[in-house]
Amino acid sequence: MNMPHYPQIVLKFDYQGWNVEIEQDDEDGVITYSAWANSEHSSVVAVPCARSCKEAIARSKHWVQIRLQQA
């Protein structure tokens, strides 16, 4: 039976009106990171997969910047 997957949030921070959560996952000994971007009206996976926490942070900030430019 498959065990449920619970997110392991390793970092939370606010960035230009968005709350960003960095999640760490370990599958078969390989650690990856993803980033959720949450606003008042939505919640999205801004970074589906990154190799480091630092990369996930940088890419999530870039995602927020692009999103704000489109608004």
CB-based contacts of 61-67 (< 8 A; 24+ apart in sequence): 61/15, 61/20, 63/35, 63/37, 64/15, 64/16, 64/18, 64/20, 64/37, 65/16, 67/18, 67/37
Q: Between 19 and 71, where is the model more confident?
A: 19
What is the reported pLDDT for 15? 98
What is the reported pLDDT for 50? 98
CATH of residue 66: 3.30.160
Place of tokens 């990154």: 50
Residue 56: domain span: 8-70
Q: What average pLDDT does the segment 54-71 reach?
A: 96
Euclidean distance between CA atoms 17 and 1, whole angstroms: 40
On the question of pLDDT at 7 being above 90, the answer is no
Contact 47, 58 (CB under 8 A): no
In a domain, 62, yes or no: yes
In a domain, 31, yes or no: yes
* Total number of domains constituting the chain: 1
Q: Between 7 and 19, where is the model more confident?
A: 19
Q: Between 35 and 3, where is the model more confident?
A: 35
pLDDT band at 30 (very low <50, low <70, confident <90, very high): very high
Contact 21, 33 (CB under 8 A): no
